[in-house]
Structure 1
Amino acid sequence: MVKRILTVLLLFPTLVCAQINTDRVMTIARNALYFEDYVLSIQYFNQVINAKPYLYEPYFFRALAKLNLEDFQGAETDCDAAIQRNPFVVGAYQIRGLARIRQSKFDGAIEDYKKALHYDPENITLWHNLTLSHIQKKDYDAAKEDLESLLKVSPRYTRAYLMRGEVSLQQKDTIAALNDFNKALELDKYDPDAWSARAIVKLQQAKYAEAEADFNRAIPLSAKNAGNYINRALARFHQNNLRGAMSDYDLALDIDPNNFIGHYNRGLLRARVGDDNRAIEDFDFVIKMEPDNMMAVFNRGLLRAQTGDYRGAIQDYTTVINQYPNFLAGYYQRSEARRKIGDKKGAEQDEFKVMKAQIDKQNGVTNKDVAQNKDKENEEEGGEKTRKKSDKNMNNYRKIVIADDSEAEQRYTSDYRGRVQDKNVNIKLEPMFALTYYEKMSDVKRSVNFHKYIEDLNRTGILPKRLRITNMEAPLTEEQVKVHFALIDTHTSAIVEDDKNASKRFARAIAGSYTHLRAH
């Protein structure tokens, strides 16, 4: 019995040490996670799990690290383990929901968010992600129900109005969408997404001047968004402002040099204004991105012929004809180019192909492929100046390209809350912070800086005004400076009565700082 007691006493310091070391390792792991060293944090969490596999926290935080490393399956598995050990942690459901979304497991994600909302029904992030999960499933009615609940929790949450507007657009309810976008702008006129969302609706309504005006408001608020320049260029194009549209494509390509639509459309506009060589450069870039884009190849062929490179043009025309053997414009242009280089026989063969198709048309004999192509042309052309990116009808080769509906849908459906490491943001240093009684009011920046010591000092009543922490100091008027000159005497009298009181000396120092600034 004595031996057993001695053994326990000898082991007790070791057990305590192990407990302390586990806590320390957990703290180190969380610090590594905070500083985005995800691999290192996982190594430390592994140590904690090996020592104490019954804790939920190391699984939870390791799941978060794996989510940031895009190991979505691993993150989901760790969340399963965390929830098994503690089913009441809202964050575990939230992370597992994100991991499932990234694996397109939307039903599972919806289940997770509903469970999390059962424990935390006023969590805006959970409602936001639940809504977007329903949108991904195209369950728009459920998404609208989610948004109604979200707006009850947070009536001034502008993203909810923007998402509901997008859902209304998917349901072809333009009026409801505009109402929501207008409401979002009423709540926050500095939200660039609200301006651009409304502008896109105006584009669809052919209100091009109004759309351009909205993009003019969105662009200064989100200058690094290439899509806004691309869309404003479209609005300007429809108003025959070709130079303005090209300028926007230039700006968009400065931001996103690999933007397909930017290069293709700028190439078309450059060709229209006679800037053929630079138009060829744009189509070279497009063809390098998409070698099988026959419209770009054909446009480059036209430009090569225009600049005297007939052999290059023939090569491009032949590439297109091999893909589309019934594309008559290709034969006609190639015959012209062949005649320019003296290939009379080749030119006559191409001309015969065109002539035969014209005779067949007059006699009512129509090639099946040509008929299908003509039907598609009538269906898709419709007098429009634009075409969808996915449109493969060669007769639309001169039309400006716009994004497909499937691409437009991704504007908000990818905006899940909880993962930010892949977002491009501009980092701008804040001005120096100071302690002052006077702060400039701003319509843009509405944050309140807090420190417990300053708040406690304000409650003492020693200071004549509420002291603020700000980097937006307001300049003092002449009257305010005179007030602080007088306050120096007041504070001095208070210090004489209690010369050991640091707060009273601090108050006099604040008053003196204003008079010092005035003296200089």
Structure 2
Amino acid sequence: MKIIYFYGMKKPALFLKQKHIFLLLLMALSLLGNSQVNTQRFLAMGRTDLFNDNYTESIKNLSVAIEAAPNKFEPYFFRGLAKYSLGDYEGAISDFNKSIEINPYFSYNYQYRGICKSQIEQYSSALQDYSDAIHRGPNNADVFVNRGTTLLQLEMYERAISDFDTAIILDSKNEMAFLNKGYALYKQKKMEEALDEINRAIRINYLNKAAYQRRGMLKFEMEKFDDAIFDFELAMKLDDEDPILYFFRGMSRHKLGDTLGTYADYKQVLELDPNNALTYYNRSILKSEQKDYKGAIKDLNKVVQINRSNIYGWYNRGVVKYMSGNFRGAERDFSKAITLFPDFAQAYLNRSGARRELNNEKGAYSDVLKAEEIRERFNNLPPDSIPLMYKDSIEFSKLIAFESDFNNANAEDGYIQYKNVYIELEPNFVISMLSNDEENYIEEKRNQYYIKELAEYNQSKLAAHKLAFGLTKQVNQLSPKKSTEILERMEDNLESNPNNPFNYLYIGILNERLGNLSAAKESYRQAVKLDPTFGFAYLNMANVIYSESLENYERSFESKAQISKGDLQEEQTAKKEYEIPDFKEAINIYNQALQIYPKLGFLYYNRANLYSKMQNYMMAIEDYDKAISLQEDLAEAYYNKGLTLLLLKDNEAACPNLSKAGELGISSAYNLIKRYCIKK
């Protein structure tokens, strides 16, 4: 059986270097006219964060500046730059639009909006923006580099080269102009001329890692593998944590027959970028060539886990399973590849072989006939070549796409979009007691949303302990020992004051903190029994019931999973995707709370989370919308709504919500934007 090799990336990266422009803009716009002190302060802080690559903090500070002075263009422009740097191109475009609305004469608005539009493949509109930028700033060489780069994407190589030449006339030291001109010449198969341009870029700046990387990739294409390795190692001296350098050095070493060196480089790629499916795929091929079938299958498991719709991952895993004698597993994997791509003739032939080994002669014969029928439709092409007929199809591109951005998962704090984050809904809100310790109280208070009803209670004489809303993952810094001490005192107080519902609320909160969910639930029940209009007790009781239901669901699954082994474990994992937890009891309690507080957005948010986990996505979205309408700055609602829309595969609607969540402070939104909102 034949393994399908897949060494390349979808398309070579183009290089845009904007950092020096950021610096010039930060200096040029450092002086504002008269404005509120707060605006100047937060704008200055936002600019400083932007310059230091701390983009999420920059957005927070610039958002404050915008709120204080919404008619100034500078905060919108700089926030657009920060969003652009985080890969939130749609959000950046929105900010540049606002900046242009306020100041239509500032050329950099158009330049950066054009860059963002190019990133989301709005090429025609991007070219118009570049023209507008050139009209307002004709001596800016970087605009010509940007426009040339967009023309490269459109395969208009001569026009692109003309723009790069203009940039060089305006700025003979513009290394990016030479570098991208080299790429344009490479696309025209003018290898030696391309090499000359890249060498010029290196002479201008011998510390430009991108230039050595590009030259190494060009030499790889020219089959000068030793020279390519030399360039990749020069680039590593400038940045030894860039995974793509190790990947291409590994490929070069493989071409030279250095298997151990290739293994070492692929291992380094995966240490830096643990979800790089292309590297797992290539390493699996090496392992299968060495007859390490167990290791190859392990790597291919990662490929299909990361890219479940990748036909080559399923197909090759089927081949390796066949080679190792696991014919049933091979049949399943070939079937999956066929389901994803029904014209995959080679997969039918391979499945035929697996079925024959399983004594399924009828199924084997049927697969051979199907493979022949497909070949006839494609003029008798070799069966493994038929997928290449679809190579320009967008839908087929998704079927062969590998997660291979080659970004360091240990990126600096500012580059949150490159980090590996666990994707899950932001948790429910819960009523909690704030600490009596002044320092802890202030710290906890910072993490709370303002709730009028709680604020009024906190100021009343009833408030033996201050209360505030908080996320469950942030709430209550009391240690278990301290919680137990307070709980004992509160229970003693019940004897002298048994009819105060707040006492039961406090006891419920403390029991919840200690993990005593049953006791907490009973305390909340007593609170609402004493006061049926006690909405906050209903809220916490619903959360406890939800937590209990979730624990029962997880325990139920774990008990079933213990009997699963080998390929059966894959089936068991798939089954869990269709087992929907039941949170109806908790939802009913939220409904009661909403009758008391119909305008409390957090209740709709909590209920939406339960609907989402029950896969009742439309009800969840409706509740998230209601929560947002009542609490416009509820970042968690935007984030969870965006995540729910992603589950519905409505990325277009999801991405603006994720952008707003990031703008309001949920930095992990930018990781989702990078994964699902950027066309690749």
TM-score (norm. length: structure 2): 0.46
**2:358 maps to 1:333:** no
Structure having the higher Rg: 1
**Equivalent-residue separation in structure 2 for 1:94 and 1:110 (angstroms):** 10
**Equivalent-residue separation in structure 1 for 2:312 and 2:133 (angstroms):** 50
**2:279 maps to 1:274:** no
**Equivalent-residue separation in structure 1 for 2:197 and 2:37 (angstroms):** 50
**2:47 maps to 1:28:** no
Alignment correspondent of 1:60: 74
Higher relative contact order (CA closer than 8 Å, sequence separation 6+): 2
After superposition, give the CA deviation of every residue in 1:196-220 in whole Å (9 maximum; x if it has no partner).
2222222222333332333233333
Q: Indicate the larger mover: 104-113 or 134-143.
A: 104-113
Report how many residues are paired: 358
After superposition, give the CA deviation of every residue in 1:339-389 in whole Å (9 maximum; x if it has no partner).
xxxxx4x2x4356568x76xx9xxxxx9441234674438959xxxxx989
- Distance verdict in 2 for CA 1:284–1:172, change over 3 Å: same
Alignment correspondent of 2:558: none
Cα drift, residue 247 of structure 1 = 1.8
The aligned amino acid for 2:211 is A
Contact 2:344 2:383 (8 Å CA) reproduced: no
The aligned amino acid for 2:182 is G
Contact 2:40 2:65 (8 Å CA) reproduced: no
**Equivalent-residue separation in structure 2 for 1:229 and 1:173 (angstroms):** 26
Alignment correspondent of 1:139: 156
Cα drift, residue 273 of structure 1 = 0.9
**2:308 maps to 1:287:** no
Contact 1:76 1:99 (8 Å CA) reproduced: no
**Equivalent-residue separation in structure 2 for 1:251 and 1:110 (angstroms):** 39
Contact 1:72 1:100 (8 Å CA) reproduced: no
Alignment correspondent of 1:161: 178
**Equivalent-residue separation in structure 1 for 2:231 and 2:378 (angstroms):** 38
Q: Is the partner of 1:257 in helix, strand or coil?
A: coil
- Distance verdict in 2 for CA 1:210–1:98, change over 3 Å: closer
**2:242 maps to 1:225:** yes
1:47 to 45, 50, 68: 68
Q: Is the partner of 1:236 in helix, strand or coil?
A: helix
**Equivalent-residue separation in structure 2 for 1:389 and 1:212 (angstroms):** 33
Q: Indicate the larger mover: 329-338 or 162-171.
A: 329-338
2:220 to 196, 203, 209: 203
**Equivalent-residue separation in structure 1 for 2:343 and 2:353 (angstroms):** 14
- Distance verdict in 2 for CA 1:21–1:122, change over 3 Å: closer
After superposition, give the CA deviation of every residue in 1:153-203 in whole Å (9 maximum; x if it has no partner).
322322211100111122332232122122223333433222222222222
After superposition, give the CA deviation of every residue in 1:250-273 in whole Å (9 maximum; x if it has no partner).
111111111121011100111111
Alignment correspondent of 2:376: 371
Alignment correspondent of 1:247: 264
TM-score (norm. length: structure 1): 0.58
**2:78 maps to 1:82:** no
After superposition, give the CA deviation of every residue in 1:232-265 in whole Å (9 maximum; x if it has no partner).
2222222222222222211111111111210111
Contact 2:330 2:351 (8 Å CA) reproduced: no
**Equivalent-residue separation in structure 2 for 1:326 and 1:150 (angstroms):** 50
Could you list the runs of 5+ residues in structure 1 that have no partner in the other structure?
A: 1-18, 339-343, 361-365, 382-386, 393-401, 412-419, 426-520
Alignment correspondent of 1:447: none
Could you list the runs of 5+ residues in structure 2 that have no partner in the other structure?
A: 1-31, 50-56, 393-399, 407-413, 420-680
After superposition, give the CA deviation of every residue in 1:7-65 in whole Å (9 maximum; x if it has no partner).
xxxxxxxxxxxx9983423312312422344244334334334xxx5xxxx12322322
The aligned amino acid for 2:41 is I
- Distance verdict in 2 for CA 1:43–1:171, change over 3 Å: same
**Equivalent-residue separation in structure 1 for 2:116 and 2:193 (angstroms):** 33
**Equivalent-residue separation in structure 1 for 2:109 and 2:336 (angstroms):** 55
The equivalences for 1:114-193 within 5 A come to 114-118=131-135, 120-193=137-210
The aligned amino acid for 1:231 is F
- Distance verdict in 2 for CA 1:108–1:63, change over 3 Å: same
**Equivalent-residue separation in structure 2 for 1:331 and 1:126 (angstroms):** 54
Cα drift, residue 281 of structure 1 = 0.7
- Distance verdict in 2 for CA 1:22–1:201, change over 3 Å: closer
Alignment correspondent of 1:259: 276
**Equivalent-residue separation in structure 2 for 1:300 and 1:310 (angstroms):** 11
Contact 1:165 1:181 (8 Å CA) reproduced: yes
Q: Is the partner of 1:22 in helix, strand or coil?
A: coil
Contact 2:232 2:249 (8 Å CA) reproduced: yes
Contact 1:32 1:38 (8 Å CA) reproduced: no
Give the RMSD, CA atoms, in angstroms: 4.0
Contact 1:320 1:330 (8 Å CA) reproduced: no
The aligned amino acid for 2:82 is N
The aligned amino acid for 1:285 is K
